[in-house]
Chain A
Amino acid sequence: MPMDWIWGLIGGLLIGSGGAVYLLMNGRIMGASGIIGGLVDGSGRTTKWERLIFLAGVAGIPLMLTALFGKIDTHVTDNIGVLIAAGLLVGIGTRIANGCTSGHGVCGMSRLSLRGLAATIFYILAGGLGVVLFRHILGVI
């Protein structure tokens, strides 16, 4: 759709503003996988509430926005095998690499971090190859 990029840009500015608030006010890097992962494996025990309340904002504000503007269709697959495999890959991969699209991508690249840039190149290339493989070759998605 022709207007999509404008919404993308506005949404991007909001995402970056969230990261800026988290950094300048709380001194934290806004990386979704790190925030969630620290709760799951216990490494973020001392900052448990900060993490949980951050996530409540991430989930809660879209819930409010859907009430005002209607739901977005996520077009997510209902293939359980695909969901489990993808979920495991995302969970394990982001924790081994120490970051995902928000931590390495948004927060890392914007501070010109070499690791952030390298991770972003790796996951975009793998994602692109994944879509070619799973969609165009194997036809599972």
Chain B
Amino acid sequence: MQLLFAFIAGGLFGAGLFTSGMTDTTKVQGWLDVFGNWDPTLAFVMGGAMVPMAIAWIIAEKRKSSVLGTPLPPKPSTTIDRNLALGSVMFGLGWGLAGLCPGPVIASLSYGGSSLWIFLIAMLSGMLVAPHLRLRLDRQLPAE
């Protein structure tokens, strides 16, 4: 059952990325480009996505486990540390540079051509080395 709902959740996510136009890199870069021809679409996507998600969090608050009986995520941490800031800045720069983030990359793999696959391989390589970089960073420059 978990696998079925994982497919449904992923399918809705993919359908939403496709419908919203978020697999079009010009829309993403257009939103980030406040000094160019600014495109507000991304704000509507983000706003629209927050509505069902906020309702789901309110329902989840009242439950002890998920509908399928698995544990719900713990309360979020409130510490804004160096890794959160540094990682998000790196991610933001890459996001602006190519107009791609992890969700839309997967959603557009079937129609984005070879560029998407090159980006995907680089992204996966980055994800493979990230834990090692993070460990070195924490050892040399402790966050706290």
Contact = CB atoms under 8 A, between A and B. Distances in A.
Report whether chain A binds chain B. Answer: yes
Interface of A: 4-30, 32-33, 36-37, 40-41, 43, 49-51, 53-63, 65-66, 71-78, 80, 82-98, 100-102, 104-111, 113-116, 118-120, 122-132, 134-136, 141
B3 A27 contact: no
Contacts of A105: 46
A18 B92 contact: no
**Helix, strand, loop or mixed for chain B's interface?**
helix
Contacts of A107: 53
Contact of A72 (B23, B41, B85, B100): B23
Given A19-B56, A72-B108, A74-B112, A41 B131 contact: yes
A22 B49 contact: no
Contact of A101 (B2, B29, B103): B103
Size category of the B interface is 35 or more
B50 A54 contact: no
A76 B92 contact: no
B140 interface: no
Interface in B82-106: 83-103, 106
B25 A75 contact: yes
A76 B91 contact: no
A48 B8 CA distance: 16
A136 B29 CA distance: 12
A128 to B, nearest CB: 5
A12 B110 contact: no
Contacts of A125: 89, 92
Contacts of B56: 16, 19-20, 23-24, 110
Most buried by A among B6, B68, B89: B6
A22 B53 CA distance: 10
Nearest to A25: B5
Contacts of B3: 49-50, 53
A128 B18 contact: no
Given A72-B23, A76-B25, A92 B18 contact: no
Which of B35, B68, B84, B95 is the most central at the interface, judged by chain A CB atoms within 10 Å of its CB?
B95
